[in-house]
Amino acid sequence: MLKNRIKDIAKEIKEEAIATRRHLHQHPELSFEEFETAAYVESRLRAIGIDKIEKKATTGLVGLIEGKNPSYKTIALRADMDALPITEENDVPYKSKKPGIMHACGHDVHTSSLLGTAHILHRLKNEFEGTVKLIFQPGEEKAPGGASFMIKDKCLENPKPSAIIGQHVMPHIPAGKVGFRPGMYMASADEIYITVKGKGGHGAMPETLIDPVLIASHLIVALQQVVSRNASPKVPSVLSFGKVIANGATNVIPNEVKIEGTFRTLDEAWRKRAKELIHQIATGIAEGMGGKAEVNILHGYPYLKNDPELTERSILAAKEYLGEENVLDLDLWMAAEDFSYYTQEMAGCFYRLGTRNEAKGIVSGVHTPTFDIEEDALEVSTGLMAWLALEELKK
């Protein structure tokens, strides 16, 4: 049985996948700076025996595994390679060797997993029809997203896949389990930058000033009505401000205040309207208080929608591979992912890989300095993705 052969190979290469993940974890690179990572991935692909490799978007790679009758059908599998500007606090042998940079979102897992999947599929290439396209992309963590550059550089052409599948670590799910959600899954993400300008001076003479700190305070409070009084309760929306800089002193009012935040939702029409409201409210309040607000909203990733039919097929395949008890239903997730760019182009399925192990204390969330994974999950991640790809090629 092909499924059992996949499981056997996944078990056989588990230690290799762990070693690969640890190497990547020790040598993280920031978004769009993944030169060493890309070179390492290419060397691993060639060692596997995959020689049809193209460089895309400077630090991205695309590899092809051709089975029998390669033109029959193509399925794409995707991994991201970049790390985050976080100083690792884990005391482990494979701790990051680069101060201030860490694979705190699991992209080392995604990359090593896809290399393992590639190993499995290459071993089985005489037993399936069609082509598997391997996409290793840069810059998922940084707008406008490496996926957008990969698509512009024609990573989805020659051959064009009929569908794309991706996975992401999930520290809330125990290792050995995975999660899926058909349809709308993840939010769009826009970055908000507001500069409030006034007239600074001595804090003891407020009558001579136009206080940008006071204006900024009013803005932050007033902008909450964008969601609370304008969004439909049926449409998930989040407007948060995480950075405010008023570089004055106890008795010094600065000339300007900078505010930074994020807006996320799952509806493109409302997304457009909300950004208009943010601009109108911010500029209107600032002008009404005698100041000025400059609003710059960086258009980020679109929402992520899992193709219902592809995802339902993948759920059934995952249950067959892992057992029904190990395949979970996911809720909406207001984080964003540039995998969404691919789902704008074709049918896509983005699922979650459980990496939690409470007994070992592996419980930290992504984007934290103590994030780590239960490495046994790599046996699941490599084998399951290979199985999903081959099952989809058969459809």
CA distances from 35 to 105, 139, 242, 245, 249 (A): 19, 12, 31, 34, 43
CATH of the domain at 213: 3.30.70.360
Tens place of pLDDT per residue across the chain (395 aa): 899 999 999 999 999 999 999 999 999 999 999 999 999 999 999 999 999 999 999 999 999 999 999 999 999 999 999 999 999 999 999 999 999 999 999 999 999 999 999 999 999 999 999 999 999 999 999 999 999 999 999 999 999 999 999 999 999 999 999 999 999 999 999 999 999 999 999 999 999 999 999 999 999 999 999 999 999 999 999 999 999 999 999 999 999 999 999 999 999 999 999 999 999 999 999 999 999 999 999 999 999 999 999 999 999 999 999 999 999 999 999 999 999 999 999 999 999 999 999 999 999 999 999 999 999 999 999 999 999 999 999 98
Residue 321 CB partners (closer than 8 Å, separation 6+): 3, 6, 7, 383, 384, 387
User: Are 88 and 178 within one domain?
Assistant: yes
Query: Based on the domain organization, do 167 and 28 belong to the same domain?
Result: yes
Of 298, 331, 359, which residue is a domain's last? 298
163 in the same domain as 236? no
Q: Which of 88, 140, 307, 337 is catalytic?
A: 140
Residues 250, 155: one domain? no
Q: In terms of domains, do 175 and 28 share one?
A: yes
Whole-number pLDDT of residue 79 = 98
CA angle 124, 328, 381 (to 5 degrees): 30
CA distance 238 to 236: 7
Residues 324 and 232 reside in one and the same domain:
no
Same-domain check for residues 87 and 203: no
What is the reported pLDDT for 395?
85
Task: Identify whether residues 195 and 158 lie together within a single domain.
Answer: no
Q: pTM of the prediction?
A: 0.94
Same domain for 202 and 228, yes or no, is yes
Cα torsion 347, 138, 302, 158 to 10°: value is -40
Last residue of some domain: 298, 327, 356?
298
Domain end call among 298, 319, 338: 298
At 9 the three-state DSSP class reads helix
Please indicate, yes or no, whether residues 214 and 113 belong to a single structural domain of this protein. Answer: no
Which of 218-248 are b and which e, b meaning 16 or more Cβ less than 10 Å from the residue's Cβ? bbbeebeebbeeebeeeebbebebeebebeb
Task: Answer yes or no: 153 catalytic.
Answer: no
Cα–Cα nearest to 211, from 249, 260, 256: 256
Total count of domains within the chain: 2
CATH number, residue 103: 3.40.630.10
3 state SS of 85: coil
Q: Is the separation of the CB atoms in 380 and 7 below 8 Å? A: no
Q: Is 140 a catalytic residue?
A: yes
In this structure, the answer to whether residues 328 and 263 fall within a common structural domain is no
**Structural domain for 235, as ranges:** 190-298
CA distance 304 to 324: 25
Tell me: do 172 and 63 sit in the same domain.
yes
